[in-house]
């Protein structure tokens, strides 16, 4: 069981579920937002999201066996603890379950076309693993878009179908908040994808991949990370100054748990010259993402001004 949990990246899946639950119960509920899904329907949405994400993690490990044997031998699961055949069958099963649940939910909310999101996501994850991952930056962007989509999908299934002429302004305002969080998740995850490519430089080189650090070199890639890190940093500072300046608790939270760690990352990335330091900064980005989405809890106490 532990090998299966590690294969599907259970910690990452918990974060996805946690974010979606926060959106539902820390953002929608406190403001009595009109929603489409009841508790059962929302649970199915979370399960479908987790199945698709888990399937993506599995197919990624299947195709990454050779590079993982070089980059992280101790963490290799497919071919060592779980056979490739069994892993591929798990991938197929989870993909089918996720797509079928997505189709059911789409019909449940009378938005049949929304089922294409699950099919598209599953197909994109497969294409990413088999070809896009080896393409300069495209693979990094695709994964980051899919991370952002795990946030937006809650609004698409639970918020948008409940829009009426009377509640349109409120519903769209809340959806804009989801878009802001999705953009934040996209930017932070993109940084993390690039730093992971720097960590995996040796194995990716032998696999003839064209990641950013391979194409321009590790040092230049770190410089790119340094520059890119200021985009979310400035965006968050702008958001705090524009919308949160009257809410001291919210301002303090963002400065302490998001802005400060991002500054730390920016300062440290250029001098990160060992695997240990790079992995540490990757974990810092993961914490920034966690604390960023955790700020959704502030809405419950109305610390954040909704324009």
Q: In the Cβ-directed half-sphere of 271, how many Cα atoms lie within 13 Å?
A: 5
Spatial contact of 188 and 67, defined as CB atoms under 8 Å apart:
no
Domain range annotation of the chain? 2-300
pLDDT at position 73 is 62
Question: 61-68 long-range contacts, Cβ below 8 Å, gap at least 24?
Answer: 61/7, 61/87, 62/87, 62/88, 62/91, 62/129, 63/129, 63/130, 63/133, 64/129, 66/203, 66/206, 66/207, 67/200, 67/203, 67/204, 67/206, 67/207, 67/209, 68/203
Tell me the C-alpha distance between 81 and 75, whole Å.
Answer: 10
> 81 and 48 in contact (C-beta within 8 Å)?
no
pTM beyond 0.95: no
pLDDT score, position 134 = 74
Write out the chain's pLDDT in tens, 307 residues: 787 888 888 889 999 999 999 999 999 988 888 999 999 999 999 999 999 999 999 998 888 776 766 666 666 787 677 888 898 999 999 999 999 999 999 999 999 999 999 999 999 998 888 888 777 888 899 999 999 999 999 999 999 999 988 889 988 989 999 999 999 999 999 999 999 999 888 877 877 788 899 999 999 999 999 999 999 999 999 988 887 777 888 889 999 999 999 999 999 999 998 989 999 999 999 999 999 999 998 877 655 544 4
Question: Residue 74: its pLDDT value, please?
Answer: 66
Residue 103 near residue 118, CB atoms below 8 Å: yes
């Amino acid at each position: 069981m532990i090998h299966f949990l590690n294969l599907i990246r259970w910690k990452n899946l918990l974060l996805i579920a946690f974010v979606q639950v926060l959106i539902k119960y820390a953002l929608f509920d406190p403001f009595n937002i009109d929603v489409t899904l009841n508790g059962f329907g929302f649970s199915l949405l979370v399960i479908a999201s987790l199945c698709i994400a888990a399937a993506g993690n599995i197919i990624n490990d299947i195709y990454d066996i050779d590079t993982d044997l070089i980059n992280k031998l101790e963490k290799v699961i497919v071919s060592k603890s779980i056979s490739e055949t069994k892993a591929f069958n798990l991938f197929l099963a989870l993909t089918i379950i996720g797509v079928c649940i997505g189709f059911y939910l789409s019909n449940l909310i009378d938005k049949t076309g929304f089922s294409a999101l699950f099919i598209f996501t599953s197909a994109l994850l497969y294409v990413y693993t088999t070809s896009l991952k080896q393409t300069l930056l495209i693979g990094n962007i695709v994964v980051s878009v899919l991370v952002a989509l795990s946030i937006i999908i809650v609004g698409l299934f639970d918020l948008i179908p409940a829009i009426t002429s009377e509640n349109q302004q409120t519903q769209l305002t809340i959806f804009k908040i989801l878009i802001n969080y999705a953009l934040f998740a996209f930017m932070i995850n993109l940084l993390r994808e690039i730093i992971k490519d720097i960590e995996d430089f040796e194995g990716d080189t032998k696999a003839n991949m064209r990641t950013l650090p391979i194409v321009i070199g590790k040092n230049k890639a770190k410089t790119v990370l340094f520059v890119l890190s200021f985009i979310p940093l400035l965006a968050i500072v702008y958001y705090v100054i524009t919308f949160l300046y009257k809410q001291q608790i919210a301002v303090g939270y963002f400065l302490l748990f998001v802005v400060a760690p991002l500054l730390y990352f920016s300062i440290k990335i250029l001098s990160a010259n060992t695997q240990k330091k790079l992995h540490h900064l990757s974990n810092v980005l993961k914490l920034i993402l966690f604390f960023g989405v955790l700020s959704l809890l502030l809405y419950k106490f109305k610390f954040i001004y909704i324009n």
